[in-house]
Amino acid sequence: MPKKVVSGNYAAAYAAKHARVEVVAAYPITPQTSIIEKIAEFIANGEVENLQYVPVESEHSAMAACIGASATGARAFTATSAQGLALMHEMLHWAAGARLPIVMVDVNRAMAPPWSVWDDQTDSLAQRDTGWMQFYAENNQEVYDGVLMAFKIAEHEKVNLPVMIVESAFILSHTYDVVDMPEQEEIDEFLPPRKPLYTLTDFENPFSVGALGTPADYYEFRYKIAGAMEEAKKVIKEVGREFGERFGRDYSQMIELYRTDDAEIVFMGMGSLMGTVKEAVDMLRSEGYKVGAAKVRWFRPFPKEELYELAKNVEGIAVLDRNFSFGQEGILFNEAKGVLYNTDARPIMKNYIVGLGGRDLTVNDVKAIAKNMKEIIEKDELDREVEWYHLKR
Amino acid sequence: MVSLEEVTKMELPADVKKRLTLPFEEHFYAGHTACQGCGAALGLRYVLKAYGGKAIFAIPACCSTIIAGPWPYTALNAPLFHTAFETTGAVISGIEAALKAKGYKVKGEDGIMVIGWAGDGGTADIGLQALSGFLERGHDALYIMYDNEAYMNTGIQRSSSTPYGAWTTNTPGGKKHFLEQRPKKKVIDIVIAHKPAYAATASVAYPEDFMRKLKKAQTIKGPAFIQLFAPCPTGWRSPTDKTIELARLAVQTAYFPLFEYENGKYKINMPSPNKEPKPLEEYLKLQGRFKYMTKEDMEILQEWVLREWEELKKKAKLFG
Amino acid sequence: MVFKSVNEYPEAPITLGTTLSNFTGDWRTFMPVVDESKCVRCYICWKFCPEPAIYIKEDGYVAVDYDYCKGCGICANECPTKAISMVREEK
């Protein structure tokens, strides 16, 4: 299997190329830009055929052009970050509502002001209710694998919904790492050409897409999307398993568990920070702490069942959120608590707000959090529910 | 009674066929929900006739969203993608790119036409950026702005394409004489600044001229733009039977002259006045939206019309 | 079309029929009436009908499809020989 040393962004670009995308419409924004630069380079070097690159004049138009392309039957791809993703917001709803399996890479970046180009998950999590699936990559390999799987999941006949593959600003986007890339023929077998649910080239039986839905009918179309999201859970697991069988990296779990078997305390979080957490878990284990890590790969659809299975057997869950919902709490924490409310699994849960705007989360931070959690569990009393861990006090 | 669908399939006597100045086949279904005497609906009917259904439409938020039919019905015998207000230029770019990636023939006699069909608000205001992007990138598609000079679908609010002195619901006249105070934005000039392959104005009162322009847009390579004048009886407070008469007067008074721009050259088209334009008042007095105008207001608008008309004639002379 | 169960709906919001099933004739207050003795078969009325609700018969004369005609009166206004008159409809 060929290996390449690439950045997270180049991994995304290679994956789009290997997925044989047909239309890419994108707009530059740091730290996303090197994805589309690389794709443009593929075209310039004649490395791709039948790929139309549309250098649009905004992210809103990037998503709109992808929507037009996808509705015409093409496999469409784009990438963006923070402000660009926020500008797209309206069209994210449109893509899902029109049931278009567009794949987009979002490079997590903090929202301004103050200006920031560094890692923060609030941009993508603010798109929670748009009907997009969201996959958070821990490393460059997962960015690459995620994009390939995303097309297969999005285009599945029972799904037909868009997918956002999320990677961290700079920590992944601009950091080089070894990435395994299967041979093109193997990928083609895994990901055959798209079979669209409908296409605008149907001149024999023309129809309109997205016509006015009155109160008598709109509701049912929302239910269809909800149903497709539920189906997507099964499809994600199937595709993740198939990916593992073909290429040796299994993604059948929507929450990746790391040393959780006998764990009392579990760190839960998403994206690249979970790499640091795993490192800390190993060190804490060697110091006698019974800790583990739960990396939430898919935020939408949310892996309720897997979270319940995990929560049943642990005493405490420390949820690490590199994001915040003002007026409430960390977004993953909020979701996880909600999932467990109607169950009999009630571990102590505490929310640690970490690394906003790219502040580093270190192994020592995770160790300190473990000690705090251990105290809480021993006292059986939560000191505070939400802790701004990195705050200068 | 024979249905329109059946009629369309009927063989017409040869002498009838010869006298028709437009293609006989219908690709626009009756039963659509445009208001009585709607110029936009008529325009859409012409566009569908021109391309015989072999066109993909993108329609943003506008009256045509409604005209095209609520789910599960469509009024178009052609594929149509309903899209967000400001996205027409971008969506047709995406459709065109996908067709090319998939190896379809775009434009030309037997190719697929990709058409953006948007109102004046969706073009001159909120969709201007996407329109600019579409024109500048040179996509092989046609953007038609049907101009009824206000946000009619939301209930007659002024757009930048509303003329001086017009009543709208947010330029309502009143004691302070709060009517539209700004002249009509010259969207076509903004379009021409992009040096597109083809740009033209057209009117629902001159369908043969419009049809010729639609054919031109089909054969020419690169982006095409047509600004179609489409009266709106509901928003203009005009009698529903005056739609064509008003559109004709708009041309004859030089309020909305018909011309084309191709390869850097301007050409004024024949329905436009060849001598003195008719007085603007003839056009204004048929519309309730202008009834609050004072005599001075009318003079200001008349002067604007003639100034713009002279400018166009100069352009046609210089770059003809 | 009336849908009784969610299972009857298509997966995506794509249309399933045409507006021909929507008879807009009942919007009308005045109905156009064609006087064939004055009609010169120029088809201007056919050309300018926004519905379209004017059709050409096999004999070459025009007729109004009252199922759809909304009674806007453009045909009567544009007819060069005044062969179409708008008559208040009795309902």
| CATH code of residue A29 | 3.40.50.970
Distances in Å between the alpha carbon of A91 and those of A227, B85, B154, B261, C78? 21, 11, 21, 33, 44
Q: What is the pLDDT of residues A50-85, one digit of tens each?
A: 999 999 999 999 999 999 999 999 999 999 999 999
pLDDT score of B51 more than 80: yes
pLDDT score of B5 more than 70: no
Inter-chain CB proximity A210 and C16 less than 8 Å:
no
What are C86's two structure tokens?
């708008």
Q: Say which amino acid occupies B227.
A: Q
Inter-chain CB proximity C3 and A228 less than 8 Å:
no
Q: Which tops the pLDDT comparison, B52 or A393?
A: A393
Residue A278 sits in the same domain as residue A230: no
Residue A157 CA to residue B5 CA, distance in Å, equals 34
CA A294 to chain centre: 15
Residue C18 lies in a domain: no
Residue B130 CA to residue A65 CA, distance in Å, equals 10
Place of tokens 């979270």: A307
Pairing of strands C30-34, C84-88: antiparallel
Q: Which of residues 36-75 of C touch B (CB under 8 A)?
A: 41-43, 46-53, 55-56, 58-60, 65, 67-68, 70-74
Q: What is the pLDDT of residues B150-201, one digit of tens each?
A: 999 999 999 999 999 999 999 999 988 899 999 999 999 999 999 999 999 9
CA distance C8 to chain B (A): 12
Residue A79 sits in the same domain as residue A215: yes
Residue B157 CA to residue B28 CA, distance in Å, equals 28
> Which residues of chain B have a CB within 8 Å of the CB of C56?
7, 12, 16, 24
pLDDT score of A107 more than 60: yes
Q: How large is the ipTM?
A: 0.97
Residue A297 CA to residue A128 CA, distance in Å, equals 14
How many domains does chain B divide into?
Answer: 1
How many domains does chain A divide into?
Answer: 2
Residue A36 sits in the same domain as residue A175: yes
Residue C69 lies in a domain: yes
**Average pLDDT along chain C, 91 residues, taken 10 residues at a time:** 95 97 96 98 97 93 97 98 96 66
> Which residues of chain A have a CB within 8 Å of the CB of C11?
99, 160, 197, 224, 228
> Would you put residue B18 in left (φ > 0), alpha (ψ -120 to 50) or beta?
alpha
Cβ atoms within 10 Å of B194's Cβ, excluding its own: 18
- Going by pLDDT thresholds of 50, 70 and 90, the confidence category of residue A130 is very high
> Which residues of chain C have a CB within 8 Å of the CB of B42?
48-50
Residue B115 CA to residue B117 CA, distance in Å, equals 6
Residue A211 sits in the same domain as residue A98: yes
pLDDT, residue A367, reads: 98
The range of the structural domain enclosing residue B245 comes to: 34-67+76-318
Residue C80 CA to residue B157 CA, distance in Å, equals 35
- Inform me whether the C-beta atom of residue A178 falls under 8 Å from chain C C-beta atoms: no
Residue C57 lies in a domain: yes
Give every CB contact of residue B232 below 8 A, 6+ residues apart in sequence. B35, B38, B39, B40, B63, B148, B149, B150, B152
Residue A150 lies in a domain: yes
Residue A285 sits in the same domain as residue A196: no
Inter-chain CB proximity C60 and B16 less than 8 Å:
yes
Partners of residue B173 on adjacent β-strands: B178
- Going by pLDDT thresholds of 50, 70 and 90, the confidence category of residue B15 is confident
- Inform me whether the C-beta atom of residue A228 falls under 8 Å from chain C C-beta atoms: yes
What's the rounded mean pLDDT across residues B122-139? Answer: 98
The range of the structural domain enclosing residue A372 comes to: 255-387
Q: What is the pLDDT of residues A265-287, one digit of tens each?
A: 999 999 999 999 999 999 999 99
Q: Under a CB-based contact definition with an 8 Å cutoff, are residues A102 and A65 in contact? A: no
Secondary structure class of A199 (helix, strand, coil): coil
Q: What is the dihedral of CA B272, B229, B124, B88, to 10 degrees?
A: -120
Residue A19 sits in the same domain as residue A163: yes
Residue B7 lies in a domain: no
Q: Under a CB-based contact definition with an 8 Å cutoff, are residues C89 and C32 in contact? A: no
Q: Under a CB-based contact definition with an 8 Å cutoff, are residues B224 and B199 in contact? A: yes
Q: Say which amino acid occupies A166.
A: V
For CA atoms B81, A224, A156, A166, the dihedral sign is positive
pLDDT, residue B275, reads: 86
Give me the residue from A64, A73, A208 closest to B69, CB to CB. A208
Residue A191 sits in the same domain as residue A297: no
The CATH number of whichever domain residue C56 belongs to comes to 3.30.70.20
CA distance B49 to chain A (A): 15
pLDDT, residue B1, reads: 42
Cβ-Cβ contacts under 8 Å between B and C: the total is 131
- Inform me whether the C-beta atom of residue B133 falls under 8 Å from chain A C-beta atoms: yes
Longest distance between any two alpha carbons in chain B, whole Å: 61
CA distance C4 to chain B (A): 14
Q: What is the dihedral of CA A105, A108, A110, A112, to 10 degrees?
A: 0
Residue A93 sits in the same domain as residue A126: yes
Residue A186 sits in the same domain as residue A277: no
Residue A53 sits in the same domain as residue A201: yes
Inter-chain CB proximity B94 and A66 less than 8 Å:
yes
The CATH number of whichever domain residue B98 belongs to comes to 3.40.50.970
pLDDT score of B2 more than 70: no
Q: Under a CB-based contact definition with an 8 Å cutoff, are residues A111 and A122 in contact? A: yes
What's the rounded mean pLDDT across residues A128-155? Answer: 98
pLDDT score of A43 more than 70: yes
Residue A27 sits in the same domain as residue A110: yes
- Inform me whether the C-beta atom of residue C19 falls under 8 Å from chain B C-beta atoms: yes
Best mutation site among B241, B242, B249 for testing chain C: the one with the most C CBs within 10 Å? B241
Inter-chain CB proximity B98 and A91 less than 8 Å:
no
Residue B29 lies in a domain: no
pLDDT, residue B9, reads: 59
H-helix or E-strand containing A299? strand A298-300
Residue A58 sits in the same domain as residue A162: yes
How many domains does chain C divide into?
Answer: 1
Q: Which of residues 165-194 of B touch A (CB under 8 A)?
A: none
Calculate what percentage of chain A has a pLDDT beyond 70.
100
pLDDT, residue B109, reads: 87
Best mutation site among C55, C66, C79 for testing chain B: the one with the most B CBs within 10 Å? C55
CA distance C8 to chain A (A): 10
Q: Say which amino acid occupies A342.
A: N
pLDDT score of B4 more than 70: no
> Which residues of chain A have a CB within 8 Å of the CB of C6?
220, 223-224
- Inform me whether the C-beta atom of residue A197 falls under 8 Å from chain B C-beta atoms: no
Q: Under a CB-based contact definition with an 8 Å cutoff, are residues A274 and A138 in contact? A: yes
CA distance C59 to chain A (A): 31
Mean pLDDT rounded to a whole number for chain A? 98
